[in-house]
């Protein structure tokens, strides 16, 4: 069984029923990048639905086709997503994604890792 994956854009691992997804620094996400990270995430998940902790702090930009892909096809096998941001740029990118792409699953933006994990853990406790 695979316990982690790393590609040129991000690294992924599963810990305590949460899939951690950390984009590498300076990444610009277009549709081909979005498709690759979703493919790798699904490979790691092996058909099981997960909560996602997505660290966006390294992201430089996300284009429209990538946002749309992530909001629809990229929502497969996801219960909820916590997006971690740390500056006005990643906050704007993430907020724009949530407001305009209307992801199919609950997606919230956080500036604190602790708050993001508390949000995700509330799904574990309530299920």
b/e map of 77-107 (b: 16 or more CB within 10 Å)? bbbbbbbbbeeeebbebbeebbeebebebeb
CATH 3.30.450.20 fits 4-126, yes or no: no
Structure tokens at 6: 């790393």
Query: Residue 5: what are its φ and ψ, rounded to 5°?
Result: -140, 145
Structural domain spans, the chain: 4-126
pLDDT values of the chain reduced to their tens digit, one per residue, 127 residues: 688 999 999 999 999 899 999 999 999 999 999 999 999 999 999 999 999 999 999 999 999 999 999 988 999 999 999 999 997 767 677 776 777 666 778 999 999 999 999 999 998 876 5
The number of residues in the chain equals 127
- Interatomic CA distance for residues 30 and 63, integer angstroms: 5
């Amino acid at each position: 069984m695979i316990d982690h994956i790393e590609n040129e854009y991000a690294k992924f691992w599963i810990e305590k029923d949460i899939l951690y997804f950390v984009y590498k620094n300076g990444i610009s996400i277009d549709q081909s990048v979005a498709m690759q990270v979703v493919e790798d995430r699904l490979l790691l998940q092996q058909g099981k639905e997960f909560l996602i902790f997505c660290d966006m702090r390294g992201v430089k930009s996300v284009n429209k086709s990538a946002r749309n892909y992530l909001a629809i096809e990229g929502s497969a096998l996801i219960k909820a997503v916590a997006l971690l941001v740390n500056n006005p740029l990643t906050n704007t990118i993430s907020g724009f994604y949530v407001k305009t792409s209307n992801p199919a699953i609950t997606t919230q933006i956080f500036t604190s890792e602790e708050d993001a994990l508390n949000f995700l853990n509330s799904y574990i406790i309530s299920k």
